[in-house]
């Protein structure tokens, strides 16, 4: 074909056009490279520099040797796992009910689920601070209704942090679960009933397994986003809950220790990637996020 | 027979035997919605402790807010940063989405993950990284710096919204326009854009809110006269529970809800005509 000048010209034109189209993506690419990839790459480099500027693993060595770092990482994973578990327990039933409502009613309820997406995290964190404090609404009503006698310590500790995190993360769980539930073909349940399964049995043996990919995707997003939480533990944890991100900020703001903060950040990023990778190997995540179902 | 005794569907148990399920669902929905909404009446409380329901109504926290030069300055900064972020991120993200979607070059597959990194990388890492870079670029405490960083954070959202709009758009229409003599840009602006307008507005609103609500990057990068509202709020929250923030929260909820509602209305009226 290439011996025919016309065809070669056409192909050159086509290539030029595609390159031009590709060029449309360049400004965005440059912005992300300059404000994201390069700075994070720079931190990566910093994490391998000792205080005198020589290459060393001293920051990583400290991460391994000082037990306080190990504790922070363990706490971060534990808190994220608990928050994810609570999200699953609370989110699945709501998604289940919403998926069975008529579409109009479900869409109306969805406004409630989505509302957190357009209200600031800070506003919601503040709301919890006000509601959960000693003289706050939850404590005064709890005592008035006789549920408990002394004001409970609901905030400035792990309780407050978990409540705040679950509140922020729930929509991220509900949306994929709801999507995968809506996509389940009701005929499977009819087939199960035909074969003699009771409604409860059909739920456990047919519906639940079919909704698991959505549940897994939602739980994974929640867990990964939880690992990087900063604002909620800082405000609702009252300094007692230190997750990796809080420690990174402290290293910068209080100790000006860029090397230590960078090393922590790199480890956090790598752990996040590992979780994502392992999860994608365990299930076909692509099918969940991609065109399959909704 | 009341609806309670009817089965929820052909293959399910009666509504009556799963009332507990509805109770849980309602409670979870209330958990999601109420804490945010309850701040609104509380902000009109006269008491330091923000009682609910307020025993005495007052506007004192709003007066505090409006009369404070620093809160007003911060509000203005946040509004400016949000608007500029929408103006930067929406066109950049749309161009990238269109380019990557239409040119099916192999590189597109490599570029897309890079453009999506801002969602995956923990925001604290972005915050200190951008701070470190800005110190060298002399962009710390500038509006430009905040807008650039926030635009970067918003690009993945714009990309996803616009790409999904393009996927459901029939590109043959653009082909027709071009076969009738329109250039590619003309075909885009006259044929494609009016039809994906709703998604573009959604993308712009999301970009604005990304910037308006962002805390961590703003905490490191903004400051002085260019402190954002969220940065000041975050610092105030770490010290004590200042009731003025209830008033500010209410204003923020109002601004966000108004924008989302406007985008929704805009989309509806477009679809009908």
Q: Which helix (H) or strand (E) holds A109?
A: helix A103-118
Substitution target from B125, B210, B254 for chain A, most A beta carbons within 10 A? B125
Q: Which of A150-154, A164-168, B7-11 has the highest mean pLDDT?
A: A164-168
Q: Tell me what percent of the residues of chain A surpass a pLDDT of 70.
A: 94
Q: Given CA atoms A218, A224, A225, A230 in this order, what sign does their dihedral have?
A: positive
CA-to-CA distance for B149 and B167, rounded, in angstroms?
28
- Terminal Cα distance for chain A, rounded: 43
Tokens 């008035």, residue? Answer: A144
Residue-averaged pLDDT of chain B: 89
Would you say residue B107 has pLDDT above 80? no
Only one residue has tokens 């520099």, namely: A49
CB neighbours (10 Å) of residue B26? 13
pLDDT digits (tens, 9 = 90+) for B246-269: 999 999 999 999 998 888 887 665
pLDDT for A292 = 38
Q: How far is B67 from chain A (nearest CA, A)?
A: 21
Mean pLDDT of B165-170: 89
Q: What is the mean pLDDT of chain A?
A: 88
What structural domains and CATH numbers belong to chain A?
Answer: 69-289 (1.10.3720.10)
Indicate yes or no: CB of B237 within 8 angstroms of CB of A137. Answer: no
A35 touches B: beta carbon within 8 Å: yes
What letters, b where the CB count within 10 A reaches 16 and e where it falls short, cover A89-111? ebbbbbbbbbbbeeeeebeebbe
Whether residues B103 and A199 touch (CB distance < 8 A) is answered with no
Helix, strand, coil percentages, rounded to 5, for chain B: 80, 0, 20
pLDDT digits (tens, 9 = 90+) for A242-282: 999 999 999 998 888 898 899 999 999 999 999 988 888 87
Residue A289 has pLDDT above 60, yes or no: no
B121-155: pLDDT as tens digits: 999 999 999 999 999 999 999 999 999 999 999 99
pLDDT at A5 over 90: no
Would you say B177 and A57 are in contact if contact means Cβ atoms under 8 Å apart? no
pLDDT at A238: 84
Write down the pLDDT at residue A38: 95
Q: What pLDDT, on the 0 to 100 scale, is given for residue A243?
A: 95
Q: Which residues contact A96 (CB under 8 A, 6 or more apart)?
A: A181, B21, B25
Q: Please tell me what DSSP assigns to residue A151.
A: P
Average pLDDT, integer, range B90-96: 96
Chain B residues with beta carbon closer than 8 angstroms to that of A265: 122, 124-125, 128-129
The pLDDT of residue B53 is 79
Separation in Å, CA of B53 to nearest CA in chain A: 9
Residue among A229, A186, A238, A243 nearest A71 (CA): A243
Which phi and psi angles does A120 have, rounded to 5°? -60, 140
Q: Kindly tell me if the per-residue pLDDT of B271 is higher than 60.
A: no
Query: Is the distance from CB of A53 to CB of A139 less than 8 angstroms?
Result: no
Which among B7, B8, B11 is the top mutation candidate for probing chain A, defined by the most A β-carbons within 10 Å of its own β-carbon? B11
pLDDT bracket for residue B1 (50, 70, 90): low
Q: d(Cα B247, Cα B226) in Å, to the nearest integer?
A: 21
Partners of residue B237 in chain A, C-beta under 8 Å: 122, 125-126, 129, 235
Q: What is the pLDDT of residue B85?
A: 98
Length reported for chain B: 273
A29 contacts on B by Cβ (under 8 Å): 96, 111, 114-115
- Stretch A140-155: mean pLDDT, rounded? 89
Mean pLDDT computed over B187-210: 92
What structural domains and CATH numbers belong to chain B? 3-61 (no CATH), 68-272 (1.10.3720.10)
Residues of chain A found within 8 Å of residue B21, distances taken between Cβ atoms: 93, 96-97
**Residues 110-169 (A) with a CB less than 8 A from some CB of B:** 112-113, 115-116, 118-131, 133, 135-137, 167
Predicted structure pTM score: 0.88
CB B95 to CB A235 under 8 A? no
Alpha carbon of A34 to those of B13, B130, B148, B195: distances in Å?
A: 57, 9, 10, 33
Task: Give the bridge partners for B45, in sequence order.
Answer: B57
d(CA A163, CA A145) in angstroms, rounded, equals 21
Instruction: Return d(Cα A198, Cα A193) in angstroms, integer.
Output: 6
The yes-or-no verdict on residue A48 having pLDDT over 50 is yes
Q: What is the pLDDT of residues B22-51, one digit of tens each?
A: 999 999 999 999 998 988 998 998 888 777
Q: Does B100 touch chain A (CB under 8 A)?
A: yes
Position A244 scores a pLDDT of 94
C-alpha to C-alpha distance for A157 and A215, rounded to whole angstroms: 29
Q: What is the mean pLDDT of residues A113-133?
A: 88
B273 versus B229: the higher-pLDDT residue is: B229
Question: Hey, are the CB atoms on B121 and A40 less than 8 Å from each other?
Answer: yes
The band of B229, judged by pLDDT with boundaries at 50, 70 and 90, is very high
Distance separating alpha carbons of residues B133 and B233, to the nearest angstrom = 25
Tokens of A197: 């399964």
pLDDT of residue A291: 40
Q: How many CB atoms lie within 10 A of CB B98?
A: 21
Q: Which of A36, A91, A130 sits opposite B42 (nearest CB)?
A: A130
Is 90 exceeded by the pLDDT of residue B56? no
Q: What pLDDT, on a 0 to 100 scale, did the predictor assign at position B83? A: 97
């Amino acid at each position: 074909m290439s011996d025919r000048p016309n065809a070669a010209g056409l192909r050159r034109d086509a290539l030029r056009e595609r390159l031009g189209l590709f060029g449309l993506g360049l400004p965005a690419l440059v912005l992300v490279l300059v404000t994201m990839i390069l700075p994070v790459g720079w931190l990566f480099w910093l994490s391998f520099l000792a205080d005198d500027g020589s290459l060393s693993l001293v920051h990583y060595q400290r991460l391994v040797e000082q037990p306080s770092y190990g504790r922070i990482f363990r706490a971060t994973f534990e808190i994220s796992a608990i928050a994810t578990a609570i999200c699953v327990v609370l989110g699945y039933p709501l998604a289940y009910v919403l998926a069975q409502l008529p579409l109009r009613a479900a869409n109306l309820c969805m406004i409630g689920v989505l509302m957190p997406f357009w209200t600031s995290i800070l506003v919601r964190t503040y709301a919890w601070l006000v509601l959960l404090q000693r003289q706050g609404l939850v404590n005064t009503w709890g005592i008035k209704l006789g549920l408990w006698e002394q004001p409970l310590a609901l905030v400035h500790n792990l309780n407050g942090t978990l409540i705040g995190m679950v509140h922020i993360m729930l929509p991220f769980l509900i949306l994929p679960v709801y999507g995968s539930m809506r996509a389940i073909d009701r005929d499977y349940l009819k087939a199960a009933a035909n074969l003699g399964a009771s409604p409860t049995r059909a739920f456990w043996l047919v519906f639940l397994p079919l909704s698991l990919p959505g549940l897994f995707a939602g739980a994974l997003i929640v867990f990964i986003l939880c690992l990087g939480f900063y604002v909620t533990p800082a405000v609702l944890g009252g300094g007692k809950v230190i997750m990796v991100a809080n420690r990174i900020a402290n290293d910068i703001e209080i100790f000006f220790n860029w090397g230590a903060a960078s090393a922590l950040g790199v480890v956090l990023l790598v752990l996040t990637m590992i979780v994502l990778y392992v999860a994608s190997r365990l299930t076909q995540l692509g099918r969940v996020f991609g065109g399959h179902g909704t | 027979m009341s609806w309670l005794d009817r089965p929820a569907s052909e293959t399910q148990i009666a509504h009556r035997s799963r009332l507990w399920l509805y109770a849980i669902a309602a409670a979870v929905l209330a958990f999601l919605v109420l804490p945010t909404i309850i701040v609104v009446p509380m902000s009109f409380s006269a008491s330091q402790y923000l009682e609910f329901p307020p025993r005495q109504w007052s506007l004192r926290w709003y007066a505090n807010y409006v009369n404070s030069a620093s809160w007003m300055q911060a509000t203005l900064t946040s509004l400016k940063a949000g608007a500029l972020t929408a103006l930067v991120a929406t066109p950049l993200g749309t161009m990238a989405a269109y380019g990557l979607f239409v040119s099916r070059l192999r590189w597109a597959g490599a570029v897309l993950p890079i453009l999506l990194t801002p969602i995956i990388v923990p925001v604290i890492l972005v915050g200190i990284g951008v701070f470190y870079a800005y110190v060298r670029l002399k962009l710390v405490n500038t509006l430009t710096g905040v807008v650039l960083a926030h635009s970067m954070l918003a690009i993945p959202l714009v990309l996803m919204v616009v790409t999904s709009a393009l996927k459901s758009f029939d590109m043959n229409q653009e082909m027709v326009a071009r076969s009738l003599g329109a250039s590619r840009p003309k075909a885009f602006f006259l044929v494609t854009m009016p039809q994906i307008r709703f998604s573009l507005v959604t993308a712009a609103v999301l970009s604005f809110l990304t910037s308006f609500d962002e805390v961590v990057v703003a905490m490191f990068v903004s400051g002085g006269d260019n402190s954002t509202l969220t940065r000041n709020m975050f610092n105030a929250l770490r010290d004590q529970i200042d009731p003025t923030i209830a008033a500010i929260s209410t204003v923020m909820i109002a601004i966000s809800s108004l924008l989302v509602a406007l985008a929704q209305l805009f989309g509806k009226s477009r679809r009908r005509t």
